[in-house]
Structure 1
Amino acid sequence: MKITVVGTGYVGLVTGTCLAETGNVVTCVDIDERKVNKLKNGQVTIYEPGLEKLFERNLKEERLFFTTDLEEGIKDAAIIFLALPTPPGEDGSADLKYVLGVAEHLGKILTDYKVIIDKSTVPVGTAEKVHAAIAKNYAGEFDVVSNPEFLREGVAVDDFMKPDRVVIGTTSERAKKLLTELYGPYVRQGNPIIFMDERSAELTKYAANSFLATKISFMNEIAQLCERLGADVDMVRRGIGSDDRIGKRFLFPGIGYGGSCFPKDVQALVHSSNEVSYEFKILNAVMDVNETQKKHLVSRINNHYEGNLQGKHFAVWGLAFKPNTDDIREAPALEIINSLLAAGATVSAFDPEAMPNVKAIVGDKINFAETQYDALEGADALIIATEWNEFRTPDFDKVLATLKEPVIFDGRNLFEVPAMFEKGFHYESIGRPLIQLPKIV
């Protein structure tokens, strides 16, 4: 099948590459000429494990193409995916100018029946707006479908190639037939393709991400309670996660959720609720809890140093909002670093992938280390902000020898509290009891 993907950001590039992997001929369109030239020359423009190998193979086998020309890109395509940015406005609403701009352009260049798919995360009613934008300039047949993505950064290739489910919003039998054929190779193990109306599909994406954000915020509140009551959030997590009505996933407390999806999608769903005069009380609380949790580790650090961080130097391990990505959007690490700098401290940071993105924002306000151990040089304490695998089993002797003081503030609960005490660290984590080292007199 011949397919066009408009937009070569995170969703667009993963979608286009994975669709080509099952034999489709995919043309990806983007207005960024520099990015398109890089992609044509075999340079993957995002970091995502497993993507580069598929990208190189499909480029070589001429199933994956790139262009800046939309008219050229959609020629002969049966399906057009819109994988365009929908950035949040100040009021939390999703900005549809890119989606609707392309839709209007499509109306001027369509010549035959095509299925246009909203792959971007968009508010309820967007399919109707896209349809109207195209119909302004095109009187022929076409269908607009909502097909939200459920790609987790770090495992997006697996998520696309072996999806838990494929959600498709359409009432068109012609579109259903095409999309059943398209997604057939990805659901051979029996996972469902769920057809529904367009509005329900649009809401499904927001509802899924908002529910997961709620689980995270609930556990962060439980962690706050554990710290005050002397309980251990890890024990609580295991106790409730074994109940299959609750499940084990998204029950890990930390320093707040970030990334490109959860913050934006929760805000957008609250905005949509407000537009129909419904106050979504739970999600308003989720946003409040998340903002509080992002500040919690800095509060612990302040308490340890009795409110005086002036002149202190901190090592930070992890800058991305989660491991296995270079995405720093809404990353809690950035808020921690900004708070430390505002308090007069200095920072040396290390992240396996995200340092170039952070450097583009903060410049020389912090030091970027060559290795995780280089970041420890001259540091009064270590702060762990992202749970990269290489941080889970470090050389603790080297950490002890390099830090000025054996102090670790762990925002991701990577290590066991008693083991860290035995190694000689003052170790503070989230929602777990603190074992105090004896004071040196």
Structure 2
Amino acid sequence: MKITIIGTGYVGLVTGACLAELGNDVFCLDVDQKKIDLLNSGGIPIHEPGLEEIVARNRAAGRLRFSTDVAASVAHGTLQFIAVGTPPDEDGSADLQYVLAAARNIGRHMKEFKVIVDKSTVPVGTADRVAAAIREELAEREAKVDFSVVSNPEFLKEGAAVEDFMRPDRIVIGHDDSHGGQRARDLMKLLYAPFNRNHERTYWMDVRSAEFTKYAANAMLATRISFMNELANLADRVGADIEAVRQGIGSDPRIGYSFLYAGAGYGGSCFPKDVQALERTARQYDQELLILRAVEAVNDRQKHILGRKVVARFGEDLTGKHFAVWGLAFKPNTDDMREAPSRVLLRELIERGATVAVHDPVAMHEAKRVLELDLGTAKLARVRFTDAPMDALDDAEALLIVTEWKAFRSPDFEEIKERLKHPVILDGRNLYEPDLMTGVGIEYHGIGRSVLTRK
């Protein structure tokens, strides 16, 4: 099938590369000439395990191309996937300017039937706005061309996006019967047929329900995280172990184990933005989502948890003190720094007078860029970026762990003790067992796992 992907970010590039891997002829469009030049030269603009190899293989086979030519992109694909960014607006709503610009470009250039696929995460009702934008452009041209708009939200985890796409647990497609809806359904069914050979994974529904499903899924996962973080903070006070609690409640099949890990808060491009956007949608319909408001408030507060633990251990004034930080990206296997808890922690440490040495396996370059925006050039000079995790420890008061990279799971604890000024670990992801840390002589502070003296 001939497919056009509009946007080469996480969603667009993964979608385009994986559909090409299945034998489709894929044209990827982006307005960023530098990004297109990078892709055409064999590089990729993001870190995603397995993606670079798939892109290279399918470029070489001629099934995947990259361009800034809008007219050529519209002419190419019967299926036009819109996979552009929907950043949060000032009021928390999703900014649809890039989605609607893509729709207008399609309407401006289309000459035959097209299926416009909303792949971007968009609020309920966006498909109607996309259709209206296309109709306006067709009317301006006095062109009579049929089209259909469907919703096909993505459920890709950064760091496992290729695996998620190639082995989906569900495929959600929203379509309406009018305006070529049946033809659109047939084409989407054909496109996803390779994923349904073992068993049917596609859930068909109306467009608005499909749009709603994406936000509802991310809101539920964010809720589970904030719920456990709030319980973890209480566990620290009462002397309970949140990891034991997690196992105790996760064994209930009605609850399960996923997304029940306490930590330093969630970040990234999806959960924070989507929770805000769903709240904004509710307000537009005169409804308050009280639970989601609390989820967001708990998460904002949780991003300060490591900073509070540092202050509790080392005092309010950190002038002259030096700390080591492992992990900068918002989660493992990505270089994404959007809404990363590390940004909150580093800002707080620097503002209290500390200096910091940091290490992340892949996010160092992106971290330098965003931290300069956060801190400014002068304050950024108080952050030292190290090539090896152990090199960050020298003369540090304590080690602070923010991202749960696998490389941090089994370090040489004796070397950690030797390099640190004090054998103290503040673990924002609960990577280590408190009893083990006590046994090797390390003072350990987890999230909801601190050893307390009960009165």
Give 1:161's aligned residue.
Answer: 166
Matches within 5 A, 1:121-136: 121-136=121-136
Structure 1 segments of 4 or more deviating over 4 A? none
Q: How does 1:309-388 map to 2 (within 5 A)?
A: 309-363=318-372, 364-365=380-381, 366-388=383-405
* % identity of equivalent residues: 53
Match of 1:173 in 2: 182
Partner of 1:210: 219
Q: 1:15, 1:160 within 8 Å by CA — same for their partners in 2?
A: yes
Deviations 1:2-54 (A, max 9, x none): 10000001110000000000000100000111110111111111100011111
Q: In 1, are the aligned partners of 2:316 and 2:352 still within 8 Å (CA)?
A: no
Letter in 1 for 2:137: N
Deviation at 1:370, TM superposition (A): 1.1
- 2:152 match: 147
Per the alignment, residue 260 of structure 1 pairs with: 269
1:198-347 maps to which residues of 2 (within 5 A)? 198-347=207-356
Q: 1:224: Cα distance to partner?
A: 1.1
- What is the CA RMSD across the aligned residues, in angstroms? 1.0
Residue in 1 that maps onto 2:47:
47
Residue 191 of structure 1 and its aligned partner are, at CA, apart by 4.4
1:302 and 1:412 map into 2 onto residues whose CA distance is 18
**Which residue number corresponds to residue 413 of structure 1?**
430
Question: Of the candidates 444, 450, 453, which is equivalent to residue 427 of structure 1?
Answer: 444
Match of 1:439 in 2: none
Please say if 1:32 is aligned against 2:32: yes
Deviation at 1:91?
Answer: 1.0
Q: Is the 8 A contact 1:87 1:95 kept in 2?
A: yes
Letter in 1 for 2:168: P
Give the deviation of 1:420 after TM superposition.
Answer: 0.3
Q: Provide the TM-score with structure 2 as the length reference.
A: 0.94
Does residue 108 in structure 1 map to residue 112 in structure 2?
Answer: no
> Secondary structure of 1:251's match?
coil
Q: Partner residue of 2:84?
A: 84
Q: How far off is 1:309 after superposition? A: 1.4
Corresponding residue for 1:75? Answer: 75
Inter-partner Cα distance in structure 2 for 1:424 and 1:187:
53
- Alpha-carbon distance change, 350 to 191 in structure 1, aligned in 2, over 3 angstroms: farther
Alignment of 1:98 with 2:107, yes or no, is no
- Aligned-pair CA distance for 1:188: 2.5
Number of aligned residue pairs = 436
Q: Cα–Cα, structure 1 residues 433 and 378, in superposed 2: closer, same or farther, change >3 Å? A: closer
CA contact (8 A) 1:227 1:433 kept: yes
Q: Distance in 2 between matches of 1:214 and 1:189?
A: 32
The letter of the residue matching 2:154 is E
Q: Write the deviation string for residues 274-327 of structure 1: whole angstroms up to 9, x where unpaired.
A: 110001000000011001111111111101113231211010000000000000
| C-alpha separation in 2, matches of 1:191 and 1:150 | 17
The residue that corresponds to 1:195 in the other structure is: 204
Contact 1:418 1:435 in 2 (8 A): no
The answer for the alignment partner of 2:141 in structure 1 is: none
Letter of the 1:12 counterpart: G
What SS is found at the alignment partner of 1:75?
A: helix
SS of residue in 2 equivalent to 1:308 = coil
**CA distance in 2 between partners of 1:391 and 1:306 (Å):** 27
- How far residue 173 of structure 1 moved from its aligned partner, in angstroms, is 1.1
> Structure 1 CA distance, aligned partners of 2:48 and 2:195?
19
Letter in 2 for 1:170: H
- Aligned AA (1:141): D
Distance 1:242 1:434 in 2: 24
What residue ranges of structure 1 are gaps of 5+ in the alignment? Answer: 437-441
CA contact (8 A) 1:417 1:435 kept: no
SS of match in other structure, 1:373? helix
The offset of 1:332, in angstroms, is 0.3
5+ residue gaps in structure 2?
139-143, 373-379
